Chains A and B, each alone.
Chain A
Amino acid sequence: MRLGLVIDLDTCVGCHACAVACKQWNTSGTTGPLTDIAAYGAEPSGVWFNRIRHYEVGDYPNNKTVNMPMSCMHCEDADCVTVCPTGASYKRKEDGIVLVDQDKCMGCNLCAWACPYGARELDPVDGVMKKCTLCIDRIYDETLEPEDRQPACVITCPAHARFFGDLDDPDSQVSRLTRERAGQTLMPELGYKPTNTYLPPRVTRPVPTDDVRRKSLISSVKEWVNQAIVR
């Protein structure tokens, strides 16, 4: 089993709801707290498992805004695990989730150095490394309704841009989406084989505008009258 996320860059609106839901769930979960520093100060900072960045792709007028949520990719060849000297970082055999055992971590930062995706953040108060757990305390919780056994970020996404599932199962929704939408991984050239997959924006036909009628004298007068009546 290879559990991971599939994120649709076509529908992601960049609202940061996934990051907030993640922070809310995990700060009170098994890996919490996600310490904040000067939360109400001039320069608020803190630990987040999920961050959303916004990019402009292409040059005007053929440009497009792309919102890119990023959390741990739960890589198959996770260097953060191999460089860890204490054995605090580990990858679960049964489902591929990469975790940190906070009781073993000595806070040397080396795993964060080895991660190109910025998935690991040191909690300066606890002195240990923290990262996305794929909401392991949710997805296996049998007291929850089956539809709730998903990561908090997936459940909360208002644009349905996030999907959770087993990428080893060719018939799962995430595998199907990856196949049909030509899902891609980030920085594949580094060879970490990330599990999380991103669906690129769909190539859509441009909306035709040449048949839009030009303004005539009558339509201008009508428009003016309509506006005057509304006022």
Chain B
Amino acid sequence: MRAVIAEDSVLLRVGLVRVLQTAGFEVGAEVGEAEALLAAVEEQRPDLALIDVRMPPGFGDEGVRAALSIRRRWPGTAVVLLSQYVEERYAADLLTADTSGVGYLLKQRVADVEEFAATVRRVAAGGTALDPQVVAQLLLRRDSDPLERLTPREREVLALMAEGRSNAAIAEDLVVTDSAVAKHINNIFAKLDLPPADAHHRRVLAVLRFLGATRD
């Protein structure tokens, strides 16, 4: 699999290249700003773009905008955004368009190399990955909506779903059985009034509902 990296700190870029190589990616380009990133993606059509949110020239949300534009123009390229801080508003921007092939994580998560490698592989394969801190921010905003009806445990499960975990991973995380997780998830689908459809689609809808409430 091929990846491109956009990160303006040269020091960190070196580390990211090595981590992606460990994760089994071939790094096709390393750039320091959004324009160059778009050019690199256009040229190489990589499976994954690993993008720093804050880049020159404005040091604001350049990375988020570049990621949205990549997802729109080259749907075959998954994006993982990295940032010193995660902001639910950026997450909402990213995920309302398309929840597959999108990740948004704190930079410090890269330090847990094996876990991070698994995450980027999952996103490159069309999965979703949200940093627990974004999820915490999203949960903060939930009041007076269907999500209020969820039990704390169900919220936990939904948060982990939003992070992109599989049922087995959720079960492991919460130290419960797979069937208990499946039961929680069915309750969530019911409480969020999601129509019966194929499981993956409902899962995405639940996460969307979860995220969509941040949009005014």
Q: Does chain A bind chain B?
A: no
